[in-house]
Structure 1
């Protein structure tokens, strides 16, 4: 029988701003599962853009620059009451963390006790009870406390067990980065033999996209910085374009079936030029800046389809788990930090010198 303590280690986000808003504590009350919920002991949790975006208030419509512009100090006065990704005020203190792997150690009323002991991941973008399996959702670690702590609670239906040889650190990157990637691929409709361009391909979502596109037998062109190309090719990229190159010059106009983008920024107009007629653009981020130069003629004269995604369907999550259990994906872990070093982990994340994911070790599984 697992002994559950009264207090736990964790990190509070105390407000919008810089690294000083991250407060490591060892006296946070351990939450108790409500009816329909489970209590999960977290072994590992990954760092994601959404953690930093929320901390710095980047989701506020007053912020119009790249995420790294406010990564260290936040955007201060530019952030109003719309700093969360839902465009609503965020409640502080908040325990962040959208990604994790752990084990169920207790259950609330109405949940079968046989779930205790399951190795699990928690879907980070969760349906609201009134959504009717629709798009109304919230993020674990934003609208409720997340996984940058030793114990967290979640609705039992949103906690998925899996049987995989992957380590806890590797599984910890699935709920946010890999689930975002797989849902984007599903939404945009990548088909066998499609030629697919992935921007930001060396990052967490990008490297996941490369692997998951290859799992569908499509051809992948990865965009990355110099020095990262070899590892990206080992992920499955068939071709490499460097971030400072001209996409049109390298690939030619109307040469790509699908573009999967989480970067946006100044190079975004080129993406519309390289898409074939009837091509598809899927987007799940804008780390290089959310405001782009958009000539609408590039869209309608070529019959392009645009897809944005945040919500992740249950079917997409189940498919991702199936890929993991079959050994079809192999998450790349760049570095592992102890939870108390979360500031150093976020600094490493923002440096963009790594390939793959940066993970926090929370506790022994």
Structure 2
């Protein structure tokens, strides 16, 4: 079968053996798979390992065959794959053994995958294949950051530095679904315009004076994945006693901030990553209740995976970038 792999220090397209369902597993024929920033950084971690590893975390497809003792699914079922491995119930942090599909396990950038039936959920009927293929990792990340950690509620004001990522688009949509006000930033005028089109109430330039732009606004919650470039600026506009959730650090892993100002301001700082199966099922109920459609920026064929990676690395996207794997 066709696949996109890491092998001997390179990303490459390669024919790989078709998987077989073992006890408790299901073989899924992949229709569409979502690319995430996590995928871009895997090569550094995998190094020069000569064994080909299929990458990719997100996907949607059709059940092709069942292993022994699988219940709850049948051949022909339309499903989405949960890439959060071995994290069943909501907890303060992931349990020991938690990992993300796509390394060290074979991932979703292939025509088929064999995976534990516990990692499957029924595809929401209102979603297209492209929408479903790139859903879970960014939507689950956003849902946990927004509701489990951030405790967003109706009437709150949410501030999101950076408006174009897949997670950011879900944050905007989910927050508006529950009646919050949403303010975003972006260097791109086009991305600010798109953010307003999908529900953001205000979109300001990233390089503007945030305190001046947000004069009169009360920011209850900041969700930031940019990292060092925006952390202190986010704290400056957050209300006293407000909450800030960090789920990524695309600019810098380390940041200095004034502890005295922090504790006098009574700020609340949370880390977040991915989410449990319990939260995933809550997220699916949410998008079904509000008929939320993920924002898909562009879809590439599997054979164009290199081009898709370059596109995502350049930060050109607004929403999800998806690979079309099969018809």
Q: Give the TM-score normalised by structure 1.
A: 0.82
Alpha-carbon RMSD: 2.4
Distance in 1, matches of 2:257 and 2:8, equals 34
Deviation of residue 92 (structure 1)? 4.3
* Residues 253 and 276 in structure 1, CA contact (< 8 A), matched pair in contact too: no
| Structure 1 residue 231 corresponds to structure 2 residue 194 | yes
Counterpart selection for 1:178 from 135, 139, 145? 139
| Structure 1 residue 147 corresponds to structure 2 residue 147 | no
5 Å matches for 1:1-365? 8-16=1-9, 21-25=10-14, 27-55=15-43, 57=44, 83=45, 92-112=51-71, 114-127=73-86, 135-136=95-96, 137-186=98-147, 187-224=149-186, 225-252=188-215, 255-364=218-327
Number of equivalences = 322
Cα distance, 1:149–1:194 mapped onto 2, change above 3 Å: same
Deviation of residue 253 (structure 1)? 9.6
* Residues 183 and 200 in structure 2, CA contact (< 8 A), matched pair in contact too: yes
Cα distance, 1:270–1:254 mapped onto 2, change above 3 Å: farther
Deviation of residue 355 (structure 1)? 1.1
* Residues 254 and 275 in structure 1, CA contact (< 8 A), matched pair in contact too: no
Deviation of residue 134 (structure 1)? 5.0
Deviation of residue 144 (structure 1)? 0.7
SS in 2 for 1:207: helix
Deviation of residue 333 (structure 1)? 1.3
Q: Which residue of 2 aligns with 1:75?
A: none
Q: Give the TM-score normalised by structure 2.
A: 0.91
* Residues 225 and 246 in structure 2, CA contact (< 8 A), matched pair in contact too: yes
Long gaps (5+) in structure 2:
none
* Residues 13 and 303 in structure 2, CA contact (< 8 A), matched pair in contact too: yes
SS in 1 for 2:40: helix
